[in-house]
Amino acid sequence: MSDPKPQTTLVCDGPATIASVEAVCNRLREALQTASAIEVDCSSVTEVDVCFLQALLSARMVAGRCGVDLRMRQPIARALRDALERGGLIAERGNPRPGQDFWTGKV
């Protein structure tokens, strides 16, 4: 009988921008192939652009199709929260956005 797939934590720190997104995508792809659950730790991200958000959104979709539990470790960095608010993915106030629970850890 084979060992079950492990759980893993993917740590993203420093700038999470177009300059680093290829490396992040490679790490996400590998984790999606080898893990049953992935926790993405963005607590030390200092800068975020739309490329990083797109990579996480894509990984979330792939994880759902593959049966991998993908979650964001809380709390997320202020830089990520700001980018999510600017991008309309989470609401600072008022009604929550669809999918907001993924980013805020209330899944």
pLDDT tens-digit map of 49-72: 999 999 999 999 999 999 999 999
Query: Per the confidence metrics, is the pTM higher than 0.75?
Result: yes
Residue 3 has pLDDT above 90, yes or no: no
R_g (Cα) of the chain, nearest Å: 14
In tens, the pLDDT along 8-42 reads 999 999 999 999 999 999 999 999 999 999 999 99
CATH classification of the domain holding 78: 3.30.750.24
In tens, the pLDDT along 97-107 reads 999 999 998 76
Do the domain assignments include residue 60? yes
Q: Which domain holds residue 83?
A: 7-94
Do the domain assignments include residue 101? no
Total of domains in the chain: 1
Using alpha carbons, select from 71, 79, 74 the residue that is nearest to residue 47: 79
Q: What pLDDT is stored for residue 71 in this prediction?
A: 97
